Amino acid sequence: MDPIKIATVQFENKSGDKAYNLQVIEQFAAEAAKKGAEAVAFHECSITGYTFARHLSKEDLLSIAEPIPNGPSIQKLQSIAQEHNLALLAGLFEREGDRIYKAYVCVDKTGVIAKFRKLHPFINPHIEPGDAYCVFKLNGWRCGILICYDNNIIEHVRATNFLGADILFMPHVTMCTPSSRPGAGFVDPLLWENREADPTSLRAEFDGLKGRAWLMKWLPARAYDNGMYVVFSNPIGMDDDQLKNGCSMILDPFGDILAECRALDNDLVVATLTPEKLTQAGGYRYKNARRPELYGDILSQPHRSEQKVAWISKN
């Protein structure tokens, strides 16, 4: 494989405004192409917006969801990809008959080359879970997709890696929400409004345990343990009534950050991924040293699925 240049983006989306969000996606696609990127990744539901969907009825969701690959947003992504000669990865609500999914696609000038449905959706009870992993080829590299909460279940990351993915795209809408972990919580939207006059206070919240400090507890480990590249994409600014802190970044198989969005604004970064690191990193050796005969049955035991999603409702 030859080295590949990948871009990841953070931007403040508008809820339900697909035209606006696609316009921003087009602007960043042009910037990514100028910087030599062969693909550019955006966050979960970057086309539609995300958090506002917790208020929607099934009829409302169906009205903003689109079929894939024939919906207008996908056609627009293909047009952008063709104009700038790169692949785009973006998310939206998918409609298939009267069923609704949280989808993320990779689109190039030929159309949709990959589609993944979130395995653990919970923003709205009318959204159904996906039931399959996704591995595809992008300019000679094997890639996978897992959306937000899916990445917190470490078996999903390992399974996607074992299916061949050397690059894992991780679109999120995360951080700055309440949790049982110490230090978690919402960030005051007034800090965002006042970010030019007082960036210090906002940065302290964004980089602390409400945000980046929590992310860095687990994100580098996903890359390191599996010996794979990770492309993390997350919005910044207001997503409905909740403030998000961005930190879109690309990590290598050593768990090191190659590039990270640090602006308190819309931002894009590009990194070069080289194949040599895939076998140099410790994760490559650890996977070859496995003894699945000892724990295969243990890891496959069934359990009762539980999800706590109190954070989606802000009182």
Tokens of 124: 């709205």
Please determine, for residue 217, whether its predicted confidence score (pLDDT) is greater than 70.
yes
Assess whether pLDDT exceeds 50 at residue 262. yes
The pLDDT tens digits of the residues spanning 127-151 come to 999 999 999 999 999 999 999 999 9
* CA–CA distances in Å: residue 238 to residues 14, 102, 191: 8, 20, 11
pLDDT(10) > 90: yes
**Sign of the alpha-carbon dihedral angle for 134, 138, 140, 144:** negative
Give me the phi and psi of 244, to 5 degrees please.
Answer: -120, 155
Per-residue pLDDT, averaged over 203-226, amounts to 98
Pairing of strands 4-10, 39-41: parallel
Q: How confident is the model at residue 311 (pLDDT cuts 50, 70, 90)?
A: very low
Contact 63, 117 (CB under 8 A): no
Q: Strand, coil or helix: what is 260?
A: strand
pLDDT at 147: 98
Enumerate the H helices of 106-237 as residue ranges.
Answer: 154-162, 189-193, 199-207, 212-226
pLDDT at 315 over 50: no
Phi, psi of 230 (to 5 degrees): -125, 130
Report if pTM > 0.75: yes
Task: Name residue, tokens 């993390």.
Answer: 232
Q: Averaged over 189-203, what is the pLDDT?
A: 98
List, in sequence order, the alpha helices (H) in the chain.
18-34, 58-64, 72-84, 154-162, 189-193, 199-207, 212-226, 276-280, 282-288, 292-299
On whether the CB atoms of residues 92 and 47 are closer than 8 A, the answer is yes
Kindly list the domain boundaries of the chain, sorted by start residue.
Answer: 4-312
Q: Which two tokens stand for residue 93?
A: 């609500």
Which helix (H) or strand (E) covers residue 8, if one does?
strand 4-10
Pick the CATH number of 4-312 from 3.60.110.10, 3.40.190.10, 1.20.1090.10, 3.30.1370.60: 3.60.110.10
